[in-house]
Amino acid sequence: ARHFSCVKVLTRRASLDSATSVFLFRRFSEELHTRPRERDTSERERSQSVTAFYYQSAIDQAAAKSPDKSHILRSAQYLSKELPVRIAHRIAGFRNLPFIVGCNPTILQVHELYIRAFHILSNFPVITNLQGEEKYSDTLRQLLDDHKDVVTMLAEGFAQVRKHITDENLIRTFLDRTLTSRLGIRMLAEHHLSLHDEKPNHVGVVNIAFSPRRLIEKKAQYAKSLCEGKYGNAPNVVLNGHLNATFPYIQPPLDYILTEILKNSFRATVETHSSNGYNMPEIVVTIANNDSDFVIRVSDRGGGLPQKLVQKAFEYNFTTAGAVREDHDGGLFDSFVASPQSTPTPGKMHGYGFGLPTARAYANYLGGSLTMETMEGIGTDVYLRLGHLDSKSESFRI
Ligand code: ADP
Ligand code: COI
């Protein structure tokens, strides 16, 4: 059972202003992913957040941009308390791994990165002015960069130790938690850092006029160029459905999820139709947007996969990519939050079998779902379903 508190967000989409976006993002990041083992923090976060909900105008005021930049100062002060706690939970996670897993040099290296980050952040002097804030932001930027390869390292480490582990759940629980908590930490840090910028339609990492179509077009183009680079050929992507939909959303996790889904469809299509030359069936992406959620379906004619492998496909480190080491693709993920605009290193289509499980963990973390329907011999449909940030529905959890 997940320990979210469900709160109805009354904000109307039309009136979602800067302050509210920050408010939503804050609450969203504070409340997501609380769980029994972290009861102390979760109770604290929950009661704070629920109280905050009933005093929304106070929160709005506090979150509003202020000309003297005191909102940036407050944001840094908030993070300086929040991040060490979250990082401490990650360290506890590593400590609780079975000995044989925790001793793996690559996994140990990640464990040490978190211990180091904990010391750096918890020893940081109290932030009292904008100068202190600037130093803090520099430290955060550096840490984001130092941790950019964490997913690749975990993928590699777990690929090495997996043969010693019989309990699949143990690995899944650890990786789901570690990867989604990391996503939350990075989004919070990125959000803070981007409060310094004036980007049109953005409040921190919240894009208040997010267009699924534009993002899908961008990611499709990127995956296509990867595919052409690797196979010398690639199918087209066509979009349909609610092409003009725009709404507030946080783009970075979608960058990752969509890229992974599209790469899989490209790979399946090319590998199934390699003899067809330039006559490959296109990948069809459909967008459906409604008041409470939005759905993105990626349909390919890449031959599907046997029903018995569908569940396996969502296991960490399951891949049909063969020589795992050569083709790994962690770089893509790792660069996404650190510099969302940068083009990741080209050339990698698949790798450690982290794409689908990570994408699903992120979708769940965002309160949504990722499911796959496959027709062996024909193709695969992947559905990504996510709630709106300002959903009016009771079930939306932030
Ligand atoms: P990777 O792409 O690194 O292998 P993923 O977790 O993204 O890792 O996918 C795991 C496996 O699921 C793939 O190796 C492939 O066998 C299968 N798979 C995923 N998407 C598709 C698809 N659209 N069509 C056919 N098989 C797929
Ligand atoms: C990570 O990216 O792994 C983090 O936790 C980043 C944080 C140390 C700022």
pLDDT means per 10 residues in the chain (398 residues)?
Answer: 28 37 47 40 43 45 70 96 97 97 97 98 97 98 97 94 91 97 96 91 91 98 96 96 97 95 97 82 98 97 96 94 44 32 43 94 96 97 93 41
31 close to ligand 1 (CB < 6 Angstrom): no
Which atom of ligand 2 lies closest to the CA of 117?
A: 8
Give 248's DSSP letter: E
- 113-135 as b/e: b if 16+ CB within 10 A: bbbebbebbeebeebeeeebbee
Q: Packing angle between helix 355-365 and helix 252-272, nearest 10 degrees? A: 150
Q: Which ligand is nearest to the CA of 155?
A: 1
Ligand 2 pocket test, pick from 151, 186, 187 with the greatest ligand atom count within 8 Å of Cβ, gives: 186
Cα of 328 from ligand 1 centre, angstroms: 13
The pLDDT of residue 351 is 79
* Tally of CB atoms within 10 A around 345: 12
pLDDT of residue 334: 33
* CA–CA dist 140, 192 (Å, integer): 9
pLDDT at 66: 74
> What tokens appear for 242 in the block?
């609610």
Q: How far apart are CA 207 and CA 200, in angstroms?
A: 9
Q: Cα of 319 to ligand 1 centre, how many Å? A: 6
Cβ atoms 220, 111 nearer than 8 A: no
> What is residue 12's predicted lDDT score, i.e. its pLDDT?
29
pLDDT for 274: 82
Helical H segments across the chain, by residue range: 18-31, 39-54, 56-63, 70-95, 99-102, 105-122, 130-146, 150-161, 168-194, 212-231, 252-272, 307-313, 324-327, 330-338, 355-365
The dihedral of CA 135, 138, 144, 148: what is its sign? negative
**What is the distance in A from the centroid of ligand 2 to the CA of 326?**
26
CA of 300 to the centre of ligand 1 (A): 12
Task: Out of 147, 150, 153, 337, give the residue to mutate to test ligand 2, the one with the largest number of ligand atoms within 8 Å of its CB.
Answer: 147
What Rg, from alpha-carbon coordinates, does the chain have?
21
Quote the ipTM score.
0.97
The ligand 1 atom at the shortest distance from the C-alpha of residue 351 is 3
Whose C-alpha lies nearest to ligand 2, atom 3?
Answer: 147
| Residue 98 DSSP symbol | -
Distance 15 CA to ligand 2 centre (A): 33
> To which residue do tokens 């001793």 refer?
103
186 lines ligand 2 (CB under 6 A): yes
pLDDT for the residue numbered 396: 34
The preferred substitution site among 264, 283, 350 for testing ligand 1, maximizing ligand atoms within 8 Å of CB, is 264
Determine the atom of ligand 1 nearest the C-alpha atom of 318: 10
CA of 143 to the centre of ligand 2 (A): 6
Q: Are strands 379-387 and 293-300 parallel, antiparallel or unpaired?
A: antiparallel
Tell me which residue has its CA closest to atom 25 in ligand 1.
304
Q: Is 379 close to ligand 1, i.e. is its CB under 6 Å away? A: no
Joined tokens for residue 321: 């990519």
List, in order, residues 6 or more apart from 345 with CB less than 8 Å away: 331, 332, 335
Q: What is the DSSP letter of 370?
A: E
d(CA 377, CA 395): 37
Q: How far is the CA of 264 from the centre of ligand 1 (A)?
A: 5
> Closest ligand 1 atom to the C-alpha of 263?
2
Secondary structure of 27-84 in the HEC alphabet?
HHHHHCCCCHHHHHHHHHHHHHHHHHHHCHHHHHHHHCCCCCCHHHHHHHHHHHHHHH
Residue 19 has phi, psi (to 5 degrees) of -60, -40
What pLDDT is stored for residue 376 in this prediction? Answer: 97
**179 C-alpha to center of ligand 2: Å?**
10
